[in-house]
Amino acid sequence: MDIVNKVFLFWNIGKNLYERENSCSNIVQKYSEYCSYYYGNSIQFTRENMHLMKRFYMNFPIYHSRLNDLSWEQYQLLLSITNKKERQFYYYLSLFFRSTYEEMFLFLSNQYYERI
């Protein structure tokens, strides 16, 4: 699965989980089992990753073409940041420099946000 389709798929799964969270008590578990069966990759569709996909949608609620400029692994790094302004800073910094996962990891480990 290429980066564009993967990010789009995970964003849509997060959207569906967010919109249907009140309709069923164990919606995350059901989606996890369904996606694992349908896509044949149970490692990517664990309950923890499903919650991460939901957070991905909640933090980037409008899907646009710029979301495809980063990989899913980069979004996982971004979602580990609790401060919204800091997360946005690293998001736009990574877009501006067209950074890889490794470069983005260096941005975070060097705490560029704290230096400003």
Are both 57 and 1 inside the same structural domain?
yes
**Same domain? 50 vs 79:** no
On whether both 43 and 83 belong to a single domain, the answer is no
Q: For the segment 11-42, what is each residue's pLDDT rounded down to a tens digit?
A: 999 999 999 988 878 889 999 999 999 888 77
C-beta of residue 77 within 8 angstroms of C-beta of residue 105 = yes
Same domain, 76 and 113: yes
One domain, residues 43 and 74: no
Residues 2 and 58 in one domain: yes
Determine the Cα–Cα distance for residues 99 and 58; give it in Å rounded to an integer.
23
pTM for this model (two decimals): 0.85
Let me know whether 76 and 104 are in one domain: yes
Asked if pLDDT for residue 5 goes beyond 90, the answer is no
Among the residues of the chain, which ranges form H helices?
3-19, 27-39, 47-59, 72-79, 84-97, 101-109, 112-115
Q: CA-based angle 12:15:18, to the nearest 5?
A: 150
Domains of the chain: total: 2
- Taking only the tens place, the pLDDT of each residue in 33-77 is 999 998 887 788 999 999 999 999 999 988 888 888 999 999 999
Instruction: Domain of residue 28: give its range.
Output: 1-62
- Same domain for 4 and 55, yes or no, is yes
57 and 75 fall within a common domain: no
User: What span, in angstroms and rounded, lies between the C-alpha atoms of 96 and 89?
Assistant: 10
Task: Specify whether 51 is located in the same domain as 96.
Answer: no
Does 54 lie in the same domain as 1?
yes
Q: Are residues 58 and 77 in the same domain?
A: no
Amino acid of residue 67: L
